[in-house]
C-alpha cells in the first residue's frame, strides 16, 4: 500500500488465534456462539463493550459506544409498536442572539437522569431526562464576531462527559470543563494557535484516555488544520498534531513526510486547510485516536503551489495517531490532491467484523467523495472502497495503490465541470449508524451535482474572507447541457442507505427526500431513526427499509437522535432546528420556509402526546425601499461585486428563502444604520461582525445602492430570485 507510510511498521493481518479467542470469550468481549470465532453479531460488539457506555440505559459518549456505532441495545420501542411513538416532552428555551435562530446539531448525552446538550453559540443545557425541566444552563458568551469566519452558521455538535465534568468547545476556540452538577467552570483554555486567523470550532470534544481532544474548522477561510489534546483534570496541553506542513519550523517526522507531498511554492498565507472539524474516534485497546482531515485551501490543488497537482498530505485523510504522543501511526488519503472540498472529516465507525474468514478490527467511513471505505484500523490496510452514490470524478479506487482512478471530468482547471458529488458531499457531518443485529451501516446520503469553476478576483488572499479560488453552483440543465453530457442525471436529494460493508453494496435505500437528511440512530428494536429537512421524524425498519412511522414536527431535523431508558421507559431524543450550511439557502420545501425556525429538543416515548407543530411563520411586512441612494452604473456594479464577495455567504439576494435577515426587505431604519452595522459592528453580538477591514464606507454605500436598485427591479417584476444553489 503506497499510502502506508510506516514501511518498517507494516503489520501482517492480525489473526485471532483460538487462544486469544478464548480469552476474549472469557472477558465477555467477544461472543462465544456455536459458530465459533466468526459470529458477526458478537464480533462487532468488541469495541462497544470497552469502557462504560450504555449501561443502565444511559448514553455517555458522543456516538454511544467508543467505536461510535450509534447502535442502542434498547428494544422496548421496536418495529412492532413504534406506531405508538409520540411526544414525552420538549424543551425550547434556547439562547437566541439577534434575529437569527440558528441550527441544532448536537447529540444529547444522558447520564444519571440528566440530558446534556448544546445549542447555538455553544450554550450547554442540562435538563431532567424524565420531564425536560431545566437544571442549569452554561453560556460561554462566545465572541459574536467569530460568526463572520464560521463557514456555515454558529452550531455545536455536543459535549463530552467524564466523571464529574462536562466538556464543551466554543466557536471562538475555547475548550471548557464544567462541573456536571452545577455547570460552573472548572477550567477554560484557548485552543487557537493564532487568534487572528479564521479558526472556528463546531465539533464535539472526544475523550482519549486521560485526554480531551478537539480540532477546529476554517479550511475555506485560510487556516492550517490541527488537533490538540489536553489533560482532562487540568486542561494543560499534552500534544498537538498539525495535519499539513505550513510555513513554520515545527518539523516533526510526520510533518517532514507530509512536506514532500506539497509544492515548495505553496502560498502558505492561504493556510492550506486540512481542518479536523468533526470526526475523531478513540480505540482504547490499540491506543489509537483516528482523526478525519478536511479539504485543501484554496480548493484547486493546482492553486497550491507550482500549478502541478500534488497529493498534499494529510488533506482528506484518515490519520491514526498514537493517542499518548499525537504521532502518526498510519494514514490513508481518500482524495489525493483534493480539489473538490472532499473532506474526510465525516463520521468514522469502529467495529470488529468477519472479513474473508477472519475477524478484523475495522474502521469505516463514508466521506464526502462518495466512496464507502473499510480499512483495518490497526495497520491502515485498505479492504474495500465502493461508491455508495453515483460519482463522476473517479471510476473507482485502485485496491493495489489505494488511490482513486480519476476521470477527465474531475479536472476543472481549464473549463467548468459538472462534478458529482458537489462540495456538500455525498455524506456530510450527520452521523451514520451501525446496527449490530443486521450488520448494516446506515448512511444519511446526499446526491447532488456541482458546477465547479475557478475564479481569480485579482485580490489574492483576503484575511477574514473566503479564499477558495473556486466555487460550485447547482448546474442548470438547459444552460449547462454541454457540460452534462455522459454524466449521471442531475440530482438534488437525499436518502437513507443501508450499506453492507462486507459486500460493499447497498441493501436498501429509502424513498428520495429533500437534501440535508438527518443523522441516524439504529436500535435493537430493529429500527433506524432520523429527521428530515421537511420537518418530519422518520422511523424505518432496519432490515427492510420500510417507513414504519413518520411524525410531522414542522421543524427541520439534521441532528442525530439518541435513545435512553429510565424507570423501565425508553425514550428517543433529538434536537431540531435548521442550521449549518442549510441556513444560508432554503429549498422551497424545507420546514423553516413555512414554520418558524425555533430550536427544540424533542423527546419521544410510546403512548405520549401529539407533537405540536412549530408555529407558522408570519408573512413579513413589506418595507419601503430606501430612496435617494446613488444609481449610477459604476456604483451599482461595485455594490453587486462586494455583495457577492462578502455578504452572500449568509444573506440571500432577492428574497430567496434563508434563515438570515432578508436584506431585500430591509427597513428604511436598518438601511440608515447600514454603516454602523457593516463598519462599526453594532450587531456583532447577534453574529453580524464589522467588515471595516475589507469594506470602505464607499463600498458600504455601493452595497446599499445596489440592494435598493435591485429591490426596485424585483418589485417591477424585471428580475426574479435565482435558481436554487445548494452546495
Ligand atoms: Ca470545506
Q: What is the number of structural domains in the chain?
A: 2
Which of 553, 571, 606 is a domain's end point? 606
pLDDT of residue 8 exceeding 80, the answer is: no
Q: Is residue 4 part of a domain?
A: no
Distance 334 CA to ligand 1 centre (A): 15
Distance CA 217, CA 156 (A): 12
Q: Which tens digits make up the pLDDT trace of 368-415?
A: 999 999 999 999 999 999 999 999 999 999 999 999 999 999 999 999
Q: What's the confidence (pLDDT) of residue 18? A: 35
Ligand 1 centroid to 337 CA: how many Å? 14
User: What is the spatial distance between Cα 595 and Cα 535, in angstroms, rounded to a whole number?
Assistant: 9
725 pLDDT higher than 70: no
pLDDT at 33 over 50: no
Q: Of 463, 442, 574, 453, whose CA–CA distance to 508 is shortest?
A: 442
**How many Cα atoms sit within 13 Å of 38 on the Cβ side?**
6
CB 78 within 8 A of CB 539: no
Q: What SS3 class is residue 16? A: coil
Q: What is the mean pLDDT of residues 575-580?
A: 98
Verify that 482 and 528 share a domain, yes or no: yes
Query: Is 166 inside any structural domain?
Result: yes
Shared domain check, 592 and 646: no
Q: How far is the CA of 276 from the centre of ligand 1 (A)?
A: 10
Of 591, 606, 621, the residue at which a domain comes to its end is: 606
**611 domain residue, yes or no:** no
**Ion ligand 1 — residues with CB < 5 Å:** 219, 295, 341
**How many Å apart are CA 711 and CA 630, to the nearest integer?**
14
Instruction: Compute the distance from residue 550 Cα to the ligand 1 centre, in Å.
Output: 32
Burial state string for 475-495 with b = 16 or more CB within 10 A and e = fewer than 16: beeeebeebbeebeebbbebb
203-209 mean pLDDT: 98
- In which domain, by residue range, is 676 found? 633-723
* pLDDT digits 0-9 by tens, 646-696: 999 999 999 899 999 999 999 999 999 999 999 999 999 999 999 999 999
Residue 717, beta-bridge partner list: none
Question: Are residues 283 and 365 located together in one domain of the fold?
Answer: yes
Please give the mean pLDDT across all residues of the chain. Answer: 91
Q: Which pLDDT value is given to residue 639?
A: 97
Q: What is the pLDDT of residue 722?
A: 61
CA distance 153 to 159: 18
**Does 592 share its domain with 645?**
no
Does the annotation count 341 as an active-site position?
yes
Distance 369 CA to ligand 1 centre (A): 12
Cα 206 to ligand 1 centroid, rounded to whole Å: 21
Please determine, for residue 30, whether its predicted confidence score (pLDDT) is greater than 60. no
pTM above 0.85, yes or no: yes
pLDDT over 60 at 25, yes or no? no
Last residue of a domain, one of 566, 590, 606: 606
- Distance from Cα 217 to the centre of ligand 1, integer Å: 8
- Is residue 402 in a domain? yes
Residue 719: pLDDT band (50, 70, 90) is confident
Which of 12-26, 213-227, 298-312 is predicted least confidently? 12-26
How far is the centre of ligand 1, averaged over its atoms, from the C-alpha of 152 (Å)?
Answer: 10
Is residue 9 assigned to a domain? no
Mean pLDDT within 693-721: 94
- The predicted structure's pLDDT at residue 11: 31
Quick: pLDDT tens for 302-357: 999 999 999 999 999 999 999 999 999 999 999 999 999 999 999 999 999 999 99
Q: Are residues 672 and 568 in the same domain?
A: no
Q: Does residue 337 lie in a domain region?
A: yes
Q: Ligand 1 centroid to 646 CA: how many Å?
A: 17
Task: Report helix, strand or coil for 133.
Answer: coil
Point out which residues pair with 87 in neighbouring strands: 604, 609
Across 36-54, average pLDDT: 39
Centre of ligand 1 to C-alpha 345, Å, is: 9
Q: What is the pLDDT of residue 489?
A: 82
Statement to judge: residues 269 and 200 lie in one domain: yes
Distance 246 CA to ligand 1 centre (A): 18
Map residue 136 onto helix, strand or coil: strand
Q: CATH number of the domain at 268, please.
A: 2.140.10.10
In a domain, 623, yes or no: no
Q: What confidence tens digit (pLDDT) does each residue in 512-530 have?
A: 999 999 999 999 999 999 9
Residues 558 and 598 in one domain: yes
Is 469 domain-assigned?
yes
State in Å: Cα 220 to ligand 1 middle: 6
Which pLDDT score is estimated for 683? Answer: 97
Q: What share of the chain is helix, strand, coil (3-state, %, to 5)?
A: 15, 30, 55
231-257 per-residue burial string, b: 16 or more CB within 10 A, e: under 16: ebeebeebbebbbbbbeeeeeeebbeb
Percent of the chain scoring above 90 in pLDDT: 87
**Residues 562 and 654 reside in one and the same domain:** no
Q: Are residues 301 and 355 in the same domain?
A: yes
Cell 453515483 found at: 390
Q: Give the residue-averaged pLDDT of 224-234.
A: 98
Q: CA-based angle 144:147:149, to the nearest 5?
A: 130
144/121 Cα distance (integer angstroms):
8
Compute the distance from residue 463 Cα to the ligand 1 centre, in Å.
Answer: 17
Instruction: Count the neighbouring beta carbons within 10 Å of the beta carbon of residue 661.
Output: 18
Q: Bigger pLDDT: 668 or 34?
A: 668
Do residue 236 and residue 281 come from a single domain? yes
228/238 Cα distance (integer angstroms) = 8
Same structural domain for residues 551 and 650?
no
Could you give the dihedral angle defined by the CA atoms of residues 346, 349, 354 and 360, in that order, rounded to the nearest 10 degrees?
Answer: 90
CATH number of the domain enclosing 713: 1.10.760.10
Residue 265 alpha carbon to ligand 1 centre in Å = 22
How high is the pLDDT of residue 486? Answer: 84
Query: 547 and 646 share a domain?
Result: no
- Of residues 111, 338, 341, 671, which has the active-site annotation? 341
CA of 275 to the centre of ligand 1 (A): 8
Amino acid at each position: 500500500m503506497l499510502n502506508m507510510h510506516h514501511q518498517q511498521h507494516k503489520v501482517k493481518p492480525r489473526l485471532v488465534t483460538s487462544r486469544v479467542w478464548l480469552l476474549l470469550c472469557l472477558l465477555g468481549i467477544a461472543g462465544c456462539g456455536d459458530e465459533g470465532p466468526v459470529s458477526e453479531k458478537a464480533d462487532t460488539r468488541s469495541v462497544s463493550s470497552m469502557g462504560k457506555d450504555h449501561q443502565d440505559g444511559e448514553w455517555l459518549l458522543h456516538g454511544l459506544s467508543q467505536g461510535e456505532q450509534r447502535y442502542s441495545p434498547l428494544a422496548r420501542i421496536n418495529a412492532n409498536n413504534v406506531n405508538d411513538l409520540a411526544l414525552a416532552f420538549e424543551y425550547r428555551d434556547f439562547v437566541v442572539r439577534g434575529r437569527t435562530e440558528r441550527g441544532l446539531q448536537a447529540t444529547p448525552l444522558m447520564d444519571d437522569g440528566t440530558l446534556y446538550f448544546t445549542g447555538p453559540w455553544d450554550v450547554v443545557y442540562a435538563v431532567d431526562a424524565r420531564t425536560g425541566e431545566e437544571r442549569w444552563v452554561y453560556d460561554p458568551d462566545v465572541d459574536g464576531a467569530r460568526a463572520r469566519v464560521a463557514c456555515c452558521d454558529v452550531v455545536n455538535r455536543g459535549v463530552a462527559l467524564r466523571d464529574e465534568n462536562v466538556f464543551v468547545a466554543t466557536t471562538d476556540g475555547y475548550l471548557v470543563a464544567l462541573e456536571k452538577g452545577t455547570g460552573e467552570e472548572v477550567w477554560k483554555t484557548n485552543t487557537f494557535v493564532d487568534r487572528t486567523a479564521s479558526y472556528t470550532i463546531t465539533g464535539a470534544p472526544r475523550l482519549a484516555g486521560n485526554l480531551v481532544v478537539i480540532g477546529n474548522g476554517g479550511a475555506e477561510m485560510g487556516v492550517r488544520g490541527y488537533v490538540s489534546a489536553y489533560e482532562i483534570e487540568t486542561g494543560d496541553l499534552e500534544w498537538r498534531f498539525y495535519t499539513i506542513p505550513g510555513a513554520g519550523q515545527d518539523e516533526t517526522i510526520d510533518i517532514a513526510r507530509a512536506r514532500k507531498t506539497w509544492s515548495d511554492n505553496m502560498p502558505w498565507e492561504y493556510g492550506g486547510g486540512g481542518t479536523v472539524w468533526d470526526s475523531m474516534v478513540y480505540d482504547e485497546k490499540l491506543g489509537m485516536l483516528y482523526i478525519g482531515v478536511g479539504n485543501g485551501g484554496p480548493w484547486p490543488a493546482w492553486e497550491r503551489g507550482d500549478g502541478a497537482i500534488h497529493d498534499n498530505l494529510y488533506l482528506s485523510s484518515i490519520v491514526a495517531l498514537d493517542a499518548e504522543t499525537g504521532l502518526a501511526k498510519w494514514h490513508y488519503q481518500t482524495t489525493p490532491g483534493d480539489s473538490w472540498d472532499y473532506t474526510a472529516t465525516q463520521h468514522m465507525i469502529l467495529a470488529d467484523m468477519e472479513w474473508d474468514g477472519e475477524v478484523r478490527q475495522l474502521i469505516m467511513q463514508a466521506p464526502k467523495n462518495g466512496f464507502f471505505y473499510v480499512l483495518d484500523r490497526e495497520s491502515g490496510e485498505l479492504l474495500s472502497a465502493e461508491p455508495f452514490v453515483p460519482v463522476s470524478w473517479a471510476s473507482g479506487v485502485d485496491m493495489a495503490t489505494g488511490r482513486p482512478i480519476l476521470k477527465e471530468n474531475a479536472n476543472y482547471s481549464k473549463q467548468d465541470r459538472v462534478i458529482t458529488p458537489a462540495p456538500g458531499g455525498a455524506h456530510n457531518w450527520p452521523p451514520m449508524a451501525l446496527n449490530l443485529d443486521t450488520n448494516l451501516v446506515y448512511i444519511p446520503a446526499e446526491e447532488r451535482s456541482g458546477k465547479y469553476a475557478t475564479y481569480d478576483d485579482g485580490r489574492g488572499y483576503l484575511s477574514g474572507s473566503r479564499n477558495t479560488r473556486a466555487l460550485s453552483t447547482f448546474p442548470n440543465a438547459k444552460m449547462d447541457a454541454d457540460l452534462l453530457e455522459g454524466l449521471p442525471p442531475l440530482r438534488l436529494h437525499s436518502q437513507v442507505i443501508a450499506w453492507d460493508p462486507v459486500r460493499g453494496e447497498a441493501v436498501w435505500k429509502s424513498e428520495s427526500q429533500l437534501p440535508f437528511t438527518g443523522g441516524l440512530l439504529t436500535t435493537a428494536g430493529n429500527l433506524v431513526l432520523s429527521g428530515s429537512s421537511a420537518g418530519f421524524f422518520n422511523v424505518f425498519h432496519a432490515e427492510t427499509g420500510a417507513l414504519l412511522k413518520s411524525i410531522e414536527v414542522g421543524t427541520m431535523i439534521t441532528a442525530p437522535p439518541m435513545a435512553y431508558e429510565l424507570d423501565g421507559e425508553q425514550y428517543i431524543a433529538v434536537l431540531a432546528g435548521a442550521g449549518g450550511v442549510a441556513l444560508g439557502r432554503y429549498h422551497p420545501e424545507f420546514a423553516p420556509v413555512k414554520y418558524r425556525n425555533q430550536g427544540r429538543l424533542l423527546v419521544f416515548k410510546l403512548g405520549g402526546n401529539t407533537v405540536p407543530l412549530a408555529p407558522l411563520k408570519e408573512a413579513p411586512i413589506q418595507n419601503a425601499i430606501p430612496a435617494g441612494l446613488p444609481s449610477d452604473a459604476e456604483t451599482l456594479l461595485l455594490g453587486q461585486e462586494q455583495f457577492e464577495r462578502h455578504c452572500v455567504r449568509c444573506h440571500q439576494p432577492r428574497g430567496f428563502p434563508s434563515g438570515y435577515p432578508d436584506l431585500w426587505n430591509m427597513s428604511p431604519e436598518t438601511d440608515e444604520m447600514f454603516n454602523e452595522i457593516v463598519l462599526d459592528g453594532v450587531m456583532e453580538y447577534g453574529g453580524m461582525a464589522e467588515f471595516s477591514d475589507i469594506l470602505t464606507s464607499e463600498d458600504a454605500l455601493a452595497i446599499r445602492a445596489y440592494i435598493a436598485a435591485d429591490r426596485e427591479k424585483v418589485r417591477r417584476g424585471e428580475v426574479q430570485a435565482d435558481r436554487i444553489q445548494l452546495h
